[in-house]
Chain A
Amino acid sequence: MTTTFAVLGEFGDAIDFIFNSRESRLGGAQVGGLGQIWDLMWPHLKLSGAAMGIACLISIPIGLWLGHIGKGGFLAINVSNVGRAVPSLALIAFFVAYLGVGFLNLMLALVLLAIPPIITNTYTGTRQVDRETVDAARGMGMTGAQIVRRVELPLALPLIFGGIRISAVNVIATATIAPLAGVTTLGDPIINVNTYGDEGRLAAALIVALLAVATELALGAVQRAVTPRGLKLTPAGRRRHRFPITRREAIP
């Protein structure tokens, strides 16, 4: 077997797997090559995207509302702590055992996984908006809904996107074990190593890692883009949210 990347050892074989297809170790089907990688990556992205979309639709309004009325802080913050304590594998296994395998069930599990950091960050972001700013908006005659939409939401956006980043990276990572729930994703070469071989497994690990880092960086760029100009002026605002973590002490 001649590989262009032989000098890199096993990693070279893995990179070769990404670009060139070969016959499966079990015989018959061809594995590897950019076409197949894309065929695995597309369901991976579709699954992660759908779960993230639903999670955002559920958790951003809840977080904004709780932050606006200033109640439920205990709930909004502790949902993250509880979410962290439930292992993603256990959550998926629970869904598989009780609801069965399939795209929809797995997506629901990922939605549950994605919700806590977004709720916590949205709540924190809304609460940390200067009360004087909100009072000024109310003094200008804004209604509650207007304050949420035109004052609190824009000022909370950086933190909301911080939460979305955490969830998105987590969901993409967890979608790797989706084949356990009968959904083919980039995790397929990792779970079904007999079909793809060691180089296929390593190639999948490489691509999942790159995908996660790319998502992190891309959402970081979006986060900076949606940060209101006023918040960018403080040096702390520029740096603080690189690789954010939902932290207990983020809440005063």
Chain B
Amino acid sequence: MILELAQVQIHNRTDTCESNNGFCPDWIADHFGDYVHPFFQHLILVGLTVAIGFAISFTLALIAYRRRWLINPVTQVTGILYTIPSVAAFFLLLPITGRGTDTALVALVSYVLLIIFRNVLTGLDNVPAETKDAGRGMGLTANQLLWRVEVPLALPEIMAGLRIATTTTVGLATLAFFAGAGGLGEKIFSDITYKSNVVVAGGLAVLMAAALDGLILLAQKAITPWTRAVAQP
């Protein structure tokens, strides 16, 4: 009897917290499982976007690095894609690609192209001419020079571009539910006035952005050991 009463009270308190729209740790603990699937949906969308976006824009940047006249047209086109708001892009693509992850992916990839393209190109352009000359003097062919000297030395800029593209994509992917791709944005949208829901779903998105940013930074440190030696004067 007493036990029942206690349970009722606990239940009531939880109810009060929820109905008062407070910040409810109990509710969060009970419902945290609901956020796992959207979280991974979100993560996969971001991963695919950055991977596909990187493949396309890295290739474009390598081609434009050799054929300079391509830089302007590529920048213009990717610049317009970058400017089109992703919410608009999702619906503009709807008649063409239908509803679903594909549409979200196309819109998000088109958004990151400019970011990565510009950073790869800046990185390659910033390789000192003396270093390239030394490489040529050692008898490297143009391709060897590219892969053994220019691309490695451009890595810090390339990775900086990846970090910006990744954190931006985590944010934009919260809107991907408009295209029917789910993700954490769908959870935010499902109950946008409920504090606990907004804090958990939004917080997970911010955490994802910070964690991915940190991971790429660690990867950059690992693959560019020579930059650490220079850091100490």
Q: Which residues of A contact B (CB under 8 A)?
A: 9-11, 81, 84-91, 93-94, 96-98, 101, 169, 172-174, 176-177, 180, 187, 190, 201-202, 204-206, 208-209, 212-213, 216, 239, 242-243, 245, 247-249
Contact = CB atoms under 8 A, between A and B. Distances in A.
A150 to B, nearest CB: 31
B25 interface: no
B178 A190 contact: yes
A239 B122 CA distance: 13
Contacts of B185: 87, 89
Given A176-B87, A176-B88, A212-B85, A94 B202 contact: yes
Contacts of B85: 169, 172-174, 176, 208-209, 212
Contact of B167 (A84, A169, A206, A247): A84
Contacts of A94: 198-199, 202
B75 interface: yes
A212 B86 CA distance: 11
Contact of B171 (A87, A248, A249): A87
B160 to A, nearest CB: 5
A100 B185 CA distance: 19
A97 B195 contact: yes
A90 B198 contact: yes
A89 B188 CA distance: 8
A205 B193 CA distance: 25
Contacts of A249: 119, 122, 156-157, 160
A205 B92 contact: yes
Contact of A209 (B92, B161, B170, B209): B92
Interface residues of B, number: 57
B195 A205 contact: no
Contacts of A101: 193
Contacts of B205: 87, 90
B94 interface: yes
Nearest to A10: B95
Interface in B168-209: 168, 170-175, 178, 185, 188-189, 192-195, 197-199, 201-202, 205-206, 209
DSSP class of B's interface residues: helix, strand, loop or mixed? helix
B192 A209 contact: no
A166 to B, nearest CB: 10
Q: Which of A89, A205, A208, A239 has the most chain B CB atoms closer than 10 A to its own CB? A: A89
**Which of A90, A91, A176, A204 has its CB near the most chain B CB atoms (within 10 A)?**
A90
5 contacts: A87-B173, A93-B198, A94-B199, A101-B193, A169-B83
Interface in B63-120: 72, 75-76, 78-80, 82-92, 94-95, 114-115, 118-119
A233 B9 CA distance: 76
Contacts of B72: 239
Given A84-B209, A202-B92, A247-B160, A242 B79 contact: yes
B21 interface: yes
B150 interface: no
B202 A205 contact: no
Given A176-B85, A205-B87, A245-B114, A93 B202 contact: yes
B55 interface: no
Contacts of B91: 190, 201-202, 204-205
A9 B92 CA distance: 13
Contacts of B118: 245, 247
Contacts of B80: 213
Given A88-B171, A242-B75, A209 B88 contact: yes
Contact of A243 (B86, B114, B202, B210): B114
Nearest to B86: A173
Contact of A206 (B88, B171, B206, B213): B88
Given A247-B119, A249-B160, A84 B168 contact: yes
A98 B196 CA distance: 10
Nearest to B115: A245
Contacts of A248: 160, 163-164
Interface string B138-173: 000000000000000000110011011001101111
A190 B92 CA distance: 11
Contact of A213 (B84, B168, B210): B84
B188 A173 contact: no
Contacts of A202: 91-92, 94-95
Given A90-B205, A93-B198, A213-B84, A245 B94 contact: no
